[in-house]
Structure 1
Amino acid sequence: MIEVGALRALRSVAALGTLARAADELGFTASAVSQQIKRLERQVGLPVLAPAGRGVVLTPAGQAIVDAAPEVFQALERCAEAAQSVADGAPQGTLRVVAFSTGIRGLLAPTMPRLSKRCPDLRVEISEQDPDQALHSIDAGTADLALAHDADGLPVPLSPSLTRRLLHTDIGDVVMARTHRLAKLDRPLTSADLIGHRWVTSPPGTVCHQWFRRLFADVPEEPDVCHRVDDFSTQMSLVAGGEVLALIPRLARPPLREGLISHPLHRPPQREVHAVWRSSANASPAIQAVLAELEATAPPDAP
């Protein structure tokens, strides 16, 4: 009979392309993963991996095993959920949660005190991961629940074995000094209002930089970017000088220091934040408890 650990190792190697990367994901040494793969090959009587440059690829037999693996893991997860339901559905054990940085700050962190009081036997372990990696971790079984935002307005594609639920819509505002001349406007800002001012932005390649570029998509002039800084607290320190503006998502925004305000936009950039988990874990008391707290502790909509 194929061992579950060996099956999980093969699936991880197939997704990541090397034994070393699979070992990092699974928390083993490369040698341990190699031994698991060799045991699997002895159990099925066929090679499941073949060398390919510096990595490896699946053989036809290995591909057949990986294709069948989701059904095995889903069945095992349903067994675990059935066992937990015997305890009146009380959330317990360890729930592994992966999320992007500002999702941890703005959504997960505020839920933890209430969740601890409501579910004292549940241990929640949070790891920071970008959305693509977080979804892979859920699909691979190395995490139980993920918070992922969409990619520049496009929903992240999901494996058929995963379920998602919309938790929050994050919106960007312009942060400025109270002394800035735009602070006197009592209406949402338009693209035309923003031209001619200096900016601090997130670096190219980030979601927030894409948001920033979209603000000026319908105006002919290039925005005047003075600073490119990834940390939002640092951006706000530069804004406090009164000379630059910053576009900051509400989830990512630290508390506004004295002398700063946030101003809404006429057409604000936004992103949807979803919770994602394996469909076979729909009945998990732990996942349902965390989802309930996340929905009950939604961030305020005020700018």
Structure 2
Amino acid sequence: MIDVSALRALRSVATLGTLAKAAEELGFTASAVSQQIKRLEREVGVPVLAPAGRGVVLTPAGQAVVDSAPEVFQALEHCAEAARSVADGAPQGTLRVVAFSTGVRGLLAPAVADLAVRCPELFLHISEQDPDQALHSVEAGTADLALIHDADGVPVALPPSVIQRHIHTDVGDVVLHRSHPLVALDRPLTVADLSGHPWVTSPPGTVCHQWFRRLFAGADGDPDVRHLIDDFSTQLSLVASGSVIALIPRLGRPPLRADLVALPLKRVPKREVFAAWRRSANASPAIRAVLAELGTSAGAGL
């Protein structure tokens, strides 16, 4: 009989390429992962890994084992979740949730208090991860539920073992000092309105910077970017000085000071937010409870 923990270790090594990285992901030492792999080789009777430079690669036999692993994990998880769902159905235990930072701020954090009241025996363990890493964690079994968003309008590719549900549409607004002349327009702002005004923006490589570049695509001249700041609270501090304006997603926006105002754009930048989990965990009362709470929070206009 193949040991499930050893099978999980092999799959992690196959994905990450080294025993050390697999150990970090699984929470073991590299020596412990090595021992698990050796135990697996004794159980199947053939080598499953071969050295390759500073890393390792799968042997043909190892690849065959890894290719079959998803069916094993899905069957085991489906069995466990079916048992939980036909008991009293009460969500309990710890649910490992991974999410991008503004998803934590805008969706998970507001849901935690109500969830604790409705499901007192359920505990969330939340870790911050970008969408690609979050999906890997769910697929690998090191997380149970992920919040992800599309990348500049392009959906994240889902592994076959993972399903998703749309839970929120996040949009960006322009934040200005209340004394700024654009506030007097009292209507959604156009690119022409924004031309010539100095900005603080998120750094290149972020979704908000992509929004910003797309906003000015085709406009005459480059926008006047004075500062590149990743933290939205810091951006708002600079906006409060009256010297710059900012484009900030609603999920990532802290409560505005009295001297700041958020104005909508005529060409609204947006991203779609999804919850993702393994198909084999579809019957999980814990996942269903969190999805229901996220739906309520998103519907409240966060």
TM-score, normalization: structure 2? 0.98
How far is the alpha carbon of 1:82 from its aligned partner?
A: 2.0
How far is the alpha carbon of 1:92 from its aligned partner?
A: 1.1
Q: Which residue of 2 aligns with 1:93?
A: 93
Give secondary structure in 2 for the equivalent of 1:213: helix
How far is the alpha carbon of 1:17 from its aligned partner?
A: 0.9
Task: State the one-letter code of the partner of 1:259.
Answer: D
Distance 2:269 2:60 in 1: 46
Give secondary structure in 1 for the equivalent of 2:127: strand
Q: Which residue of 2 aligns with 1:179?
A: 179
How far is the alpha carbon of 1:53 from its aligned partner?
A: 2.1
Percent identical residues = 75
How far is the alpha carbon of 1:194 from its aligned partner?
A: 1.1
Residues 107 and 294, structure 1, Cα contact 8 Å, conserved in 2:
yes
Q: Which residue of 2 aligns with 1:25?
A: 25
Counterparts of residues 126-165 of structure 1 (less than 5 Å) = 126-165=126-165
Q: Which residue of 2 aligns with 1:108?
A: 108
Give secondary structure in 1 for the equivalent of 2:77: helix
How far is the alpha carbon of 1:299 from its aligned partner?
A: 6.0
How far is the alpha carbon of 1:132 from its aligned partner?
A: 0.6
Q: Which residue of 1 aligns with 2:192?
A: 192
How far is the alpha carbon of 1:301 from its aligned partner?
A: 4.3
Deviations 1:129-156 (A, max 9, x none): 1111100000001110000011111000
Q: Which residue of 2 aligns with 1:82?
A: 82
Q: Which residue of 1 aligns with 2:213?
A: 213
Give secondary structure in 2 for the equivalent of 1:256: coil
Measured on the aligned residues, the alpha-carbon RMSD in Å equals: 1.1
How far is the alpha carbon of 1:58 from its aligned partner?
A: 1.1
| Runs (5+) with no aligned partner, structure 1 | none
Distance 1:132 1:188 in 2: 33
Give secondary structure in 1 for the equivalent of 2:251: coil
| Runs (5+) with no aligned partner, structure 2 | none
How far is the alpha carbon of 1:98 from its aligned partner?
A: 0.6
Deviations 1:16-63 (A, max 9, x none): 111111111100011111110111111111111112222111111111
Task: State the one-letter code of the partner of 1:61.
Answer: A
Is 1:38 paired with 2:32? Answer: no
Distance 2:97 2:301 in 1: 25
Which stretch shows the higher mean deviation, 45-54 or 229-238? Answer: 45-54
Residues 106 and 299, structure 1, Cα contact 8 Å, conserved in 2:
no
How far is the alpha carbon of 1:300 from its aligned partner?
A: 4.8
Segments ≥4 residues shifted beyond 2 Å: 299-302
Deviations 1:92-138 (A, max 9, x none): 11111111111011001111111111111111111111111100000
Counterparts of residues 144-293 of structure 1 (less than 5 Å) = 144-293=144-293
Residues 178 and 259, structure 1, Cα contact 8 Å, conserved in 2:
yes
Task: State the one-letter code of the partner of 1:272.
Answer: E
How far is the alpha carbon of 1:85 from its aligned partner?
A: 2.3
Give secondary structure in 2 for the equivalent of 1:7: helix
Distance 2:253 2:212 in 1: 15
Distance 2:35 2:253 in 1: 47
Distance 1:229 1:53 in 2: 40
Q: Which residue of 2 aligns with 1:125?
A: 125
